[in-house]
Structure 1
């Protein structure tokens, strides 16, 4: 049963995330946030309005994709050594496909794809009836990391808010390397927010 968009948009509010003095937590604290959540272990889950995260089974199930009315697919495990579906696999479904040949290895630099992936997701959501399915092999690390980056970049969420939002609906577990890369992104975006706020306060 699908949750309503309003429920999906609900974020936990806390002094930490609402404070103007928000600072990015340590990796240990971020890991503990994930341990405390209670999402599902389904093949696919809606984690934000019209954004679905799932595994290889769901990616290969055209019936599931049709039922969900998916219009865009972001494969975070593209390539011959991963989930080698590709655009041709979905040719009969009129799905727009974007593949990233990433590996679920803490040493892999997924951050170089954060903005391209986030822009692809935003484009999907802005299209008429757009629904995007983001997947990897298990739907817990690579795909989850890219969705978290999208929420941070285009929905102006802190990493804490993004983690709470997604993990409420799905059990996710970005590896330590990816979590560290998200933490670096959070620090960068937080600094930009502070500068923009300072500029707005002082004026021209």
Structure 2
């Protein structure tokens, strides 16, 4: 008897059963061992195959004194921003939730960048268009972003930097800022790693510093490569001074 025939013969001895399979899209299929058929079933009682977390991410992670990082969610809670002493918000790619979009549209420049002040809270909101794509250029937005962060911190303010999830875009900008300020120090931005502030941070140390305060950060591969190039540029600048 051939191997395939032996398998077919053994399969006849198996007990008939049906198995309900749900994929990650929430689609359910009924697999029948006797007929070998797979039938799609109604989605009315289907689930996505994992637990969806609908809770807002309201973390305001203080990376260095006065510089906070997180998702878009806290921007929908002005009371939280005020209670945390936030004076400035830098939004990357997504606009804050609790500020009418028309305010930004009326104040935007040719690049789509805009800045408004909320009359109720006096919080300054800056929006910078930026996509979470590996090919999106950090170098095009960093000068303005670093200026916005410096302006807030130099005035003893507190700035919250966010994107949509606070995982890729906003951490990339915060990492670049920390690298720059560890190489070119300013009195309003104290950067220290493991208690050592005598030497500039490398990218690995900057990532560890940020991740210790917001563990979910994960810049996309393109941003990480650009951050390596940015670090090399800072090292070159330092060697020429």
> What is the TM-score normalised by the length of structure 2?
0.58
Whether 1:154 aligns to 2:181 is yes
Measure the CA separation in 2 of the matches of 1:132 and 1:113: 17
CA 1:175–1:136: 2 relative to 1, 3 Å: same
1:16-38 Cα deviation digits (max 9, x unpaired) = xxxxxxxxxxxxxxxxxxxxxxx
Partners of 1:137 and 1:90 lie apart in 2 by 20
* More strand per residue: 2
Tell me if the contact between 2:94 and 2:164 (Cα under 8 Å) persists in the aligned partners: no
**2:164 alignment partner in structure 1:** 137
Higher RCO (CA 8 Å, separation ≥ 6 residues): 1
- 1:50 maps to 66
Is the 1:78–1:84 Cα contact (8 Å) retained in structure 2? Answer: no
State yes or no: 1:67 paired with 2:95: no
Distance 2:176 2:120 in 1: 30
**RMSD in angstroms over aligned alpha carbons?**
2.2
SS of equivalent to 1:91: coil
More helix by share: 1
What is the CA–CA distance in structure 1 between the aligned matches of 2:229 and 2:178, rounded to whole Å?
A: 15
Report the alpha carbon displacement of residue 141 of structure 1 after superposing the two structures with TM.
0.8
Q: What stretches of structure 1 move > 4 A for 4+ residues in a row?
A: 83-89
Larger Rg: 2
5+ residue gaps, structure 2: 1-56, 105-114, 184-200
Structure 1: stretches of 5+ with no match in the other structure: 1-40, 197-204
Are the structure 2 counterparts of residues 55 and 89 from structure 1 closer, same or farther at C-alpha, using a change threshold of 3 Å?
Answer: farther
Deviations 1:62-120 (A, max 9, x none): 1110111100110012459xx98545583311112211111111121122111211121
Segment of structure 1 superposing worse, 64-73 or 114-123: 114-123
**Who is 1:101 aligned against?**
129
1:176 — aligned with what?
Answer: 221
Number of equivalenced pairs? 153
Give the distance between the partners of 1:95 and 1:75, measured in 2 at CA: 13
Could you tell me which residue of structure 1 aligns to residue 92 of structure 2? Answer: 76
**3-state SS in 2 of match to 1:138:** coil
